[in-house]
């Protein structure tokens, strides 16, 4: 993983047809006639694709902005729809397209809904969300929390999170999902981790189950049950495999390894320390087993040197190479 924050790619255009549908849903929501059955249909509409989610996200932000301008903002939507439905849809779609990208995913009515959380290199952070969900951020992580009337969603920009979902008290209950570059992950009452890597995402499930929907093939869904994990890209998900014993050990500041290739071990350790950690290819396949500290990575390297046929060369504190002993 690149330790420097990379610039996010430009947001692709949402099809106008989907924006039209979002505008219609928004007007119905503000009409006050959205019963539980229609709320469920709205949730299902949002879950159809990433474009549907993004369209409703824009609609929710627009609604929030209207209400923040004045108490009459919500009434303005209702009056606009009552006067001319077709004109209302066209007007709302124009306004949705005009919303600055910088508002997306993190500006909502409630100050605690729409927060962006970050951790520095080597830092971990625990957060309790408004619905009671427990969120733990691993090293060098950035995540947006997006809650609205139809859904609960996290947008993982970089890094890794551990999520323990809470039962939603809203009626009807809202879906809970995590969006990554490669697609979305729907939680089915669960405890799981998501790790955004360079060209894929890794999901590990400790309790419950999750459903993966790749961005470019949203209908090709994959369910990952408890005690299994899977990686996926924007086209497909790998077949789930047994969960690694230490998949969430980072929450406790530990790296658990069982016959892990040294190259893989060092790549994991590198996520928690500044500078450059590299190795001689002759030691790449040496197996590593044990429990190691992520809080004191220098001590972890010293332990490797004491227990394995390797030597740790420090050119500087921030330039370290592992070589054969």
What distance in Å separates the CA atoms of residue 237 and residue 220, rounded to the nearest whole number?
8
Query: Which structural domain range is residue 153 located in?
Result: 116-242
Residues 63 and 140 occupy one common structural domain: no
Task: Answer yes or no: pTM beyond 0.85.
Answer: no
Are both 205 and 141 inside the same structural domain? yes
Contacts of residue 265, defined as CB under 8 A and 6 or more positions apart, other chains included, come to 255, 257, 288
For residue 57, being part of any structural domain is answered with yes
CATH of the domain at 233: 2.60.120.1440
Asked if 313 and 323 count as a contact pair (C-beta separation under 8 A), the reply is: yes
What is the reported pLDDT for 45? 87
Residue 3 in domain? no
Where do the H-state alpha helices sit in the chain? Answer: 16-31, 36-46, 50-69, 73-83, 85-98, 262-270, 297-307
Give the pLDDT confidence of 32-78 residue by residue, as tens digits: 666 777 777 887 888 788 888 788 877 776 665 554 443 444 445 55
In a domain, 8, yes or no: no
**39 in any annotated domain:** yes
Last residue of a domain, one of 103, 127, 144: 103
- Give the model confidence (pLDDT) of 244-260 as tens digits: 888 899 999 999 999 99
What percent of the chain clears pLDDT 90, i.e. is strictly above it?
50
In a domain, 226, yes or no: yes
The answer on 126 and 67 residing in a single domain is no
d(CA 80, CA 86): 10
Statement to judge: residues 166 and 199 lie in one domain: yes
pLDDT, residue 6, reads: 35
Q: Which helix (H) or strand (E) holds 3?
A: none
269-304 residue pLDDT tens: 999 998 889 999 999 999 999 999 999 999 999 999
- The strand pair at 116-118 and 142-147 is best described as antiparallel
Residue 61 is predicted with a pLDDT of 66
Structural domain contains residue 156: yes
The count of structural domains within the chain is 3
The kind and range of the H/E element at 261 are strand 254-261
What is d(CA 11, CA 8) in angstroms, rounded to the nearest whole number? 8
d(CA 229, CA 122): 24
- Tell whether 7 is covered by a domain: no
């Amino acid at each position: 993983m690149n330790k420097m924050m990379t610039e996010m790619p430009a947001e692709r255009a949402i099809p106008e047809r989907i924006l039209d549908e979002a505008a219609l849903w928004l007007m119905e929501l503000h009409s006050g006639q959205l019963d539980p059955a229609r709320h469920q249909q709205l949730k299902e509409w949002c879950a159809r694709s990433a474009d549907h989610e993004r369209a409703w996200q824009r609609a929710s932000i627009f609604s929030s902005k209207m209400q923040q301008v004045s108490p009459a903002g919500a009434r303005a939507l209702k009056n606009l729809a009552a006067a001319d439905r077709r004109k209302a849809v066209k007007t709302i779609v124009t306004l949705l397209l005009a919303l600055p990208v910088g508002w997306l995913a993190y500006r909502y009515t409630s100050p605690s809904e729409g927060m962006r959380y970050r951790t520095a290199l080597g830092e971990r952070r625990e957060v309790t969300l408004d619905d009671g969900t427990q969120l733990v951020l691993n090293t060098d992580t950035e995540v947006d929390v997006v809650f609205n009337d139809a859904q609960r969603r996290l947008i993982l920009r970089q890094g890794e999170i551990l999520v323990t979902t809470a039962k939603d008290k809203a009626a009807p209950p809202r879906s809970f999902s995590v969006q990554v570059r490669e697609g979305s992950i729907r939680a089915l009452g669960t405890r799981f981790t998501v790790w955004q890597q360079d060209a894929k995402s890794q999901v590990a499930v400790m309790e419950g189950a999750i459903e993966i929907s790749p961005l470019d093939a949203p209908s090709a869904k994959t369910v990952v049950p408890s005690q299994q994990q899977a990686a996926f890209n924007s086209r497909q998900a790998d077949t789930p495999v047994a969960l690694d014993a230490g998949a969430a050990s980072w929450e406790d500041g530990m790296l658990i390894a069982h016959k892990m290739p040294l190259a893989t071990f060092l790549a994991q350790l590198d996520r928690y320390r500044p500078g450059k950690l590299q190795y001689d290819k002759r030691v790449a396949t040496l197996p590593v087993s044990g429990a190691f500290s992520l809080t004191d990575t220098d001590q972890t390297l010293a332990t490797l040197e004491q227990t394995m046929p390797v030597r740790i060369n420090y050119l500087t504190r921030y330039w370290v190479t592992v070589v054969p002993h």
